[in-house]
Chains A and B, each alone.
Chain A
Amino acid sequence: MPSLINLSIHELHDILSKREVSAVEVTRAYLDRIGEVDPKIRAYLTVTADKALTQAEEADRRLKKADHVTPLTGIPVGIKDVICTRGVRTTCGSKILENFVPPYNATVMEKLEAHGAVMLGKLNMDEFAMGSSTENSAYHPTHNPWDLERIPGGSSGGSAASVAARACAGSLGSDTGGSIRQPASYCGVVGLKPTYGTVSRFGLVAFASSLDQIGPISRDVTDCALLLNAISGHDTRDSTSVLRDVPDYTGSLMPGLKNYTLGIPKEYFISGLDPEVEKSVKRAVSALESQGAEVVEVSLPHTEYAVATYYIIAPAEASSNLSRYDGVKYGLRAPDYKNLMDMYKKTRSLGFGPEVKRRIMIGTYSLSAGYYDAYYKKASQVRTLITQDFKKAFEQCDVIAAPVAPTTAFRLGEKADDPLQMYLSDIFTIPVNLAGIPGISVPCGLNSSGLPIGLQLMAGHFEETKLLTVAYNLELALCRCENWPLD
């Protein structure tokens, strides 16, 4: 039998339900693996070993009695530290929440617990999910398991790196402008951003509320479908959560793409796109063609305006959301202050890192008197144009295929002093969030230096089943290698 940590969630479920292995044994194997590789990749901010073993014992009781067993019972997962976990410190990668212990669970955590999943710990991220490299964590950067001198992507860098390094069986991340898909691509794993409203945001620390979604990161497409099954669904505690039945997403894992039309947006194949990424993406498209898909060219003409639009809308929403960190209700309070205003300013200036301050400043500026029409209103109008681009494109195709990011993982420090260059690494992922549609990153090969490349698939609102079908067929066609990093 191969090492437990190399098994996918569905393979683990198979041997757990046959009682060939216990949930405690699986959890111990992962805790050992964390001890072995986490000093190198630094994906975890908090490891909850005792809690994990207690949850594993409970899962074993269920498995023994075949009582409330689901595909996630006894499966060890990691959780991005932006998701509130009752009794377990939730920092959001920020010093301002260094000692914050949520008194309640996010809805996704309640759902995972109901499935009997085991939480191994909380995963590193760019502070408040603002960043594309995980270098903006106030604690430490995370390293890419495929090349420790490179970033894992971000902001869900810990979530993607831990899955690739097999330091958890699967994880949850959050995606506001590409924060699940871009690190999944850089780390060679599967990452899905669901349609806005599919997964409850209750207990997700808010960054940009009209864009944020929680989603799964996994080692294969089947695991992605299983995790999505578990976390989706309407929640009365999130007023933007959509009242819809959740399909069984594993039902979409069918071979063959007959009757599927794949759209290739010409605006995503621009100068600045790494030739090796382009080659790999085109090879993936041919592979999908060989599975029966028809390929057509489509146009998303406003793509080039997406980053500018996003860097008005997201900071505007963030500046409002982050006003709650005022040193009164929870989080840090600066030690010495003269009066209330001084306490606010000192607390926030001490507690937030430079990127968070930058975005609060952009947001406050663009919403301030005299600038609202020129910035926020204008960006909201361009958001309409970007959304209409997708609507038109989906009249011609079922799923759009494109690169996830213009390059592979860059080196630590390479873009750290140039915020604008960092923002532009999200050029291909941001439009999906602005339109609220689902997007998935699926591994499609390695470049000549052995770094992973991802194919991005996008579909219309609530068309996750189509995404997963195409993603599954890519996996079948490419016969993905079983080589994982840090073996």
Chain B
Amino acid sequence: MKIIISEIEHVAHLARLSFDPSEIENFNRQLNDILGYISKLEELDTSRVEPTTHALELTNAFRRDEVKPSLPVEKTLSNAPEQEGGRFVVPKII
């Protein structure tokens, strides 16, 4: 399976990244090298194998819905690039 440059631009958009044309060339070569190597997995027949998403069998860790101490608003906002009146400020979207 080979990835082509128009696909890279699409994937970059999905990932909210942008690249200049010279970077795309380089990325294209490296990503194809990596994907070429990954295609090694096609050698294996996995039609009867269950997928593993976690190494240990996990069950949901439920807890009671109780109010507990948590970070105050000003601490939560302390690393925000822009904030005002106890809220995060973002560019206008509507």
Are the chains A and B members of one assembly?
Answer: yes
Given contacts A348-B16, A358-B31, A362-B34, contact A210 B44 (CB under 8 A): no
Query: Is A349 a contact of B38 with CB atoms below 8 Å?
Result: no
Counting CB contacts under 8 A, is A394 at the interface?
no
Given contacts A349-B17, A381-B49, contact A340 B54 (CB under 8 A): no
CB distance from B61 to the nearest CB of A (A): 4
B18, B46, B55: the one within 8 Å of A387 (CB): B55
Given contacts A361-B31, A380-B53, contact A343 B91 (CB under 8 A): yes
The complex places the Cα of A437 from the Cα of B16 at a distance, in Å, of 35
Counting CB contacts under 8 A, is B78 at the interface?
yes
A377-419: which residues lie under 8 A (CB-CB) from chain B? 377-385, 387, 419
Query: Is A420 a contact of B81 with CB atoms below 8 Å?
Result: no
Closest residue of A by beta carbon distance from B59: A239
Q: Which residues of A contact B35 (CB under 8 A)?
A: 362, 365
Closest residue of A by beta carbon distance from B91: A340
A13-52: which residues lie under 8 A (CB-CB) from chain B? none
A195, A343, A352, A385: the one within 8 Å of B46 (CB): A385
A327, A385, A420: the one within 8 Å of B44 (CB): A385
Given contacts A239-B61, A308-B38, A387-B52, contact A329 B16 (CB under 8 A): no
Secondary structure type dominating chain A contacts: helix
Query: Is A330 a contact of B58 with CB atoms below 8 Å?
Result: no
Query: Is B78 a contact of A381 with CB atoms below 8 Å?
Result: no
Number of A-B residue pairs with CB-CB distance less than 8 Å in the complex they form? 165
For A335-369 the 0/1 string (1 means CB < 8 A from B) is 00101110111101100100001101110110010
Q: Give the one of A358, A361, A362, A375 with max B CB within 10 A.
A: A361
Counting CB contacts under 8 A, is A272 at the interface?
no
Q: Give the one of A319, A345, A437 with max B CB within 10 A.
A: A345
For B36-48 the 0/1 string (1 means CB < 8 A from A) is 0111111110100
Top 3 closest A-B pairs, CB basis? A436-B55, A380-B51, A330-B79
B15, B42, B46, B71: the one within 8 Å of A319 (CB): B15
Given contacts A308-B41, A332-B81, contact A242 B3 (CB under 8 A): no
Counting CB contacts under 8 A, is A2 at the interface?
no
Secondary structure type dominating chain B contacts: loop
The complex places the Cα of A385 from the Cα of B12 at a distance, in Å, of 32
Query: Is B53 a contact of A360 with CB atoms below 8 Å?
Result: no
Given contacts A239-B61, A328-B80, A361-B27, contact A339 B91 (CB under 8 A): yes
Counting CB contacts under 8 A, is A309 at the interface?
yes
CB distance from B2 to the nearest CB of A (A): 12
CB distance from A467 to the nearest CB of B (A): 16
The complex places the Cα of A419 from the Cα of B30 at a distance, in Å, of 7
Interchain residue pairs with CB less than 8 A apart (13)? A101-B78, A103-B76, A103-B78, A210-B53, A331-B81, A333-B81, A337-B91, A340-B93, A345-B17, A361-B8, A361-B11, A375-B38, A380-B52
Query: Is A382 a contact of B14 with CB atoms below 8 Å?
Result: no
Q: How large is the interface on A (under 10, 10 to 19, 20 to 34, 35 or more residues)?
A: 35 or more
Q: Which residues of A contact B16 (CB under 8 A)?
A: 323, 326, 341, 344-345, 348
**Sample of 7 further A-B pairs with CB below 8 A, known A323-B16, A358-B27, A434-B55:** A305-B44, A340-B90, A345-B16, A381-B50, A382-B46, A384-B49, A385-B44
For A140-179 the 0/1 string (1 means CB < 8 A from B) is 0000000000000000000000000000000000000000
Counting CB contacts under 8 A, is A196 at the interface?
yes
Q: Give the one of A241, A346, A384 with max B CB within 10 A.
A: A384
Q: Which residues of B contact A437 (CB under 8 A)?
A: 55
Counting CB contacts under 8 A, is A104 at the interface?
yes
A240, A307, A344, A364: the one within 8 Å of B11 (CB): A364
CB distance from B48 to the nearest CB of A (A): 9
For B53-94 the 0/1 string (1 means CB < 8 A from A) is 111101011010000000100011011111000001011110
Query: Is A331 a contact of B41 with CB atoms below 8 Å?
Result: no
Query: Is A374 a contact of B1 with CB atoms below 8 Å?
Result: yes
Counting CB contacts under 8 A, is B25 at the interface?
no
Q: Give the one of B43, B58, B63, B88 with max A CB within 10 A.
A: B58
Query: Is A103 a contact of B18 with CB atoms below 8 Å?
Result: no
The complex places the Cα of A377 from the Cα of B76 at a distance, in Å, of 37
Query: Is A385 a contact of B49 with CB atoms below 8 Å?
Result: yes
The complex places the Cα of A236 from the Cα of B18 at a distance, in Å, of 39
The complex places the Cα of A379 from the Cα of B53 at a distance, in Å, of 10
Q: Which residues of B contact A365 (CB under 8 A)?
A: 3, 7, 11, 31, 35
Closest residue of B by beta carbon distance from A196: B55
The complex places the Cα of A368 from the Cα of B39 at a distance, in Å, of 17
Query: Is B33 a contact of A362 with CB atoms below 8 Å?
Result: no
A241, A331, A346, A375: the one within 8 Å of B18 (CB): A346
Query: Is A329 a contact of B88 with CB atoms below 8 Å?
Result: yes
Given contacts A360-B15, A361-B15, A435-B55, contact A384 B50 (CB under 8 A): yes
The complex places the Cα of A195 from the Cα of B56 at a distance, in Å, of 9
Query: Is B55 a contact of A348 with CB atoms below 8 Å?
Result: no
Counting CB contacts under 8 A, is A312 at the interface?
yes
Given contacts A101-B79, A103-B76, contact A420 B34 (CB under 8 A): yes
Counting CB contacts under 8 A, is A139 at the interface?
no
Query: Is B34 a contact of A329 with CB atoms below 8 Å?
Result: no
